[in-house]
Amino acid sequence: MDIRIVSLNVGKPQSVEFQGGTIETGIYKTPCQTRAVPLTTLNFEGDGQADLVNHGGPDKAVCVYPYEHYDFWEREWGRRPEPGAFGENLTVLGMTEDLVCIGDIFAIGDVRLQISQPRQPCFKLGKKHGMPQLPLHVQNTGFTGYYFRVLRPGLFDLNLSMTLYERHPAGLTVAYANRIMHHDKGDIAGIRRLLAVPELSASWRATFEKRLAGNEPSSEKRLQGN
């Protein structure tokens, strides 16, 4: 794979007004000014998440978004999104959702990163851009990005190349996982294929198990904030 990191973005949680109240969010990321940033099993130095129930944690330590999608959003919005526009830590080229798989491991220097799940956009993305329907639009396009867990922390050095270290043998792409989660919800065989991948995140595993049991929660609150 020919991979290029366009931008490494971080940001601490901040308070913003929302629906007559105040919410905390870590979605406001800006490009780092240094080329090498320490990375722990939870986040980059200088980064943070506000809602640790739905964001962050070991399974969702690093948010990734493909730069290829920026052309689509520029046409949609009439302006070019800035790096970090989707709250991602890494804006990358050569790693779209149809090219990478749940459980794939990537290396940069001594650091090892593993794809755990697709990103599920929430209402805070809509708030950031003043577009309440944006989270659902992102979800429906499949241009969601995804999360890394950190298998081996260390210095994330942008002077080095990031490479595919190990392809997961199941070969289930992020795009496939998105399709089963959001579009082909009745594909029981697909759900079971994903559940058979041990590297799938705990939160996606729980959602699929609830779906099989017939008690999957609504996504309305995640997408709309109410």
Residue written as token pair 């990103």 = 119
pLDDT of 7-62, one tens digit each? 999 999 999 999 888 999 999 999 999 999 999 999 999 998 877 666 789 999 99
Q: Contact at 8 Å (CB) between 60 and 116?
A: yes
- The overall average pLDDT reported for the chain is 96
Instruction: Look at residue 110 and tell me whether its pLDDT is greater than 90.
Output: yes
pTM score, two decimals? 0.96
Task: Residue 13: name the closest of 52, 42, 40, 39 by CA.
Answer: 52
Structural domains of the chain in order of their starting residue, each with its CATH number: 4-224 (2.40.33.20)
Instruction: Look at residue 189 and tell me whether its pLDDT is greater than 70.
Output: yes
* Per-residue confidence (pLDDT) for residue 129, from 0 to 100: 96
pLDDT of 113-166, one tens digit each? 999 999 999 999 999 999 999 999 999 999 999 999 999 999 999 999 999 999
* Per-residue confidence (pLDDT) for residue 53, from 0 to 100: 67
Enumerate the H helices of 9-96 as residue ranges. Answer: 70-77
* Per-residue confidence (pLDDT) for residue 107, from 0 to 100: 98
Residue 108 forms beta bridges with which residues? 111
* Per-residue confidence (pLDDT) for residue 21, from 0 to 100: 84
Q: Provide the sign of the torsion angle of the four alpha carbons 173, 179, 181, 182, taken in this order.
A: positive
Q: Contact at 8 Å (CB) between 5 and 91?
A: yes
pLDDT of 54-80, one tens digit each? 678 999 999 999 999 999 999 999 999
